A and B are shown apart, each in its own frame.
Chain A
Amino acid sequence: MTTVTRRLLLLAVTTAALLAAPIPSVRAQDAPQPAAAAAADTNSEEDELNVTAGRMEVLLDGKTIELTDNVRFEDSTMILTASRMMIFLDDTPQQTDKDTKTDKDPKKGEDKQREKPEGDAAQDMRLKRIEAYTNVILRKRLDPTESVMGDNAVYDAHRDIVTLTGNCIVTQQGRTLKGKEVIFDRANSKINVQDVIFNLRLPKGSKRSLNGLFGDDKDKDKDKDSQAERGGKDKPQP
């Protein structure tokens, strides 16, 4: 081997070694930055709703999506199934009371959190309303034994309530009651039934109270308190 060839080989080996060495600046970019970590925290404040169906029609100009054939809506609060569903989206930036209050809010930490979404709001769609038709069944995520059936349902995203109408049946721990309209307040996880038709079969000689049937714990507590006050002398009223 000549000297030139050796030098060339040495140069080639050095270049290869340099190329193979990890570059610190690139590695630093890979590591999560504090800003990225903060963004991840913001993402954790997000909820995701998923809908599956057999068929879907998207009206881009109307910002409306129609789903048919075994429609299933799911999010962190409820599972809703229906034969047909319409999803109404909105692309106007959110300008709520909260936003107007933000400017006057003395807490700077909260201001920062709310300032950021304004830029994203132009890019993101907002959920306006969901309408479900035919054989609507709603189940609570936290308590799947509690469910509501109805002909149709409307979910108002702004008020965060679901209103079921037509032949509504509420089932709770095996017990049922019928009503014309059922309102499910998602935020408080409460079900309100309008114009209730109540069929109840109690065994003869039952001392079970009506209050206890639908888990009215407050009344139970009151009864216990009153019993305690009376020193447990009197028997509980049926």
Chain B
Amino acid sequence: MTTPVPRAILRLAALLLALLALPLPAQFGSHTGQITLRGFTITGQDDDGQTWRLTGARTVTNGHLVTIDDFTLSYRLRHSGGDRRAGLLGAQDGAVPVRLQSPACTLDSLSKEIKSDASLSMTIGGNVRLSGIGYDVDILRKVVLLRSTVAFSMKVRRGELNLNRHKETHR
């Protein structure tokens, strides 16, 4: 490339390619009324002032129905109260983090419900894990219904269930 014209064309082509490679935040399908978002994160607060964060790989909005792929919903569970002490529970309002992960779901923005036939894995705090196939989430009531093949596992410290005492008796 010795002449200046081809160099300019090459630069322009490279710039165009770079622009095309950039992920577009939203695509508007005028004929279907669909809005597609890729790689998004939404944060918000519920009526109780609890913060939540929703991340997803892709979402398609069609009217009041929102289809989300590879979503993660993080939420901090309001503390039961009574024993709330500054410093012990952390600075955040609500001590126990809740996380829901699923490969696909549909959110009904009118009824505030999430539905899916896909699998769901859920963690409450650092020691409780739940999973199942097919689920319904009532956002307002904060109820998660797992429809089939459900599993619950919880790690407990031995002292908590007096298992040290149990150990001693079997020596």
List A residues at the B interface (Cβ < 8 Å).
45-61, 63, 65, 67, 76-77, 87, 89-95, 98, 117-118, 120, 122-127, 142, 157, 160, 186-189
Contacts of B126 in A (CB 8 A): 120, 123-124
Contacts of A95 in B (CB 8 A): 83
| Known pairs A63-B80, A157-B161; A58 contacts B95 (CB<8 A) | no
Contacts of B88 in A (CB 8 A): 93, 118, 122
Report if B31 contacts A (CB, 8 A): no
Contacts of A60 in B (CB 8 A): 75, 77, 98, 124, 142-144
Smallest CB gap from A58: residue in B: B144
Smallest CB gap from A65: residue in B: B152
**Cβ of B96 and Cβ of A46 under 8 Å apart?**
no
| Residue from B78, B88, B148, B150 having most chain A Cβ neighbours under 10 A | B150
15 A-B pairs with CB atoms under 8 Å apart are A46-B157, A56-B145, A60-B124, A61-B77, A61-B78, A67-B152, A90-B80, A91-B77, A98-B159, A122-B90, A125-B127, A125-B128, A125-B154, A157-B161, A188-B166
List B residues at the A interface (Cβ < 8 Å).
75, 77-80, 82-83, 85, 88-90, 95-98, 122, 124-128, 130, 132, 141-163, 165-166, 169-170
**Cβ of A189 and Cβ of B169 under 8 Å apart?**
yes
| Known pairs A53-B150, A187-B166; A92 contacts B80 (CB<8 A) | yes
**Cβ of B146 and Cβ of A58 under 8 Å apart?**
yes
Give the complex CA separation of A189 and B167 in angstroms.
10
**Cβ of B163 and Cβ of A92 under 8 Å apart?**
no
Smallest CB gap from B79: residue in A: A91
Give the complex CA separation of A157 and B147 in angstroms.
27
Smallest CB gap from B157: residue in A: A46
**Cβ of B156 and Cβ of A49 under 8 Å apart?**
yes
Contacts of A57 in B (CB 8 A): 143-146
**Cβ of B80 and Cβ of A186 under 8 Å apart?**
no
**Cβ of A46 and Cβ of B156 under 8 Å apart?**
yes
5 additional A-B pairs beyond A91-B95, A122-B88, beta carbons within 8 Å, are: A46-B158, A55-B148, A63-B77, A98-B159, A157-B160
| Known pairs A59-B142, A123-B95, A125-B96; A54 contacts B170 (CB<8 A) | no
**Cβ of B143 and Cβ of A59 under 8 Å apart?**
yes
**Cβ of B151 and Cβ of A58 under 8 Å apart?**
no
| Known pairs A61-B78, A90-B80, A124-B126; A56 contacts B160 (CB<8 A) | no
Nearest-CB distance from B93 to chain A (Å)?
13
| Known pairs A57-B145, A67-B150; A187 contacts B165 (CB<8 A) | yes
Query: Of B82, B150, B162, B170, which contacts A56 at CB under 8 A?
Result: B150
Contacts of B145 in A (CB 8 A): 55-58
| Residue from A90, A91, A94, A188 having most chain B Cβ neighbours under 10 A | A91
Smallest CB gap from A42: residue in B: B157
Give the complex CA separation of A56 and B155 in angstroms.
19
| Known pairs A55-B146, A58-B122, A125-B125; A45 contacts B158 (CB<8 A) | yes
Give the complex CA separation of A150 and B125 in angstroms.
33
Query: Of A53, A98, A124, which contacts B125 at CB under 8 A?
Result: A124
Query: Of B75, B150, B165, which contacts A55 at CB under 8 A?
Result: B150
Smallest CB gap from A53: residue in B: B150
Give the complex CA separation of A63 and B124 in angstroms.
10
**Cβ of A189 and Cβ of B170 under 8 Å apart?**
yes
**Cβ of B150 and Cβ of A48 under 8 Å apart?**
no
Give the complex CA separation of A98 and B142 in angstroms.
35
Contacts of B125 in A (CB 8 A): 91, 123-125
Nearest-CB distance from A115 to chain B (Å)?
13
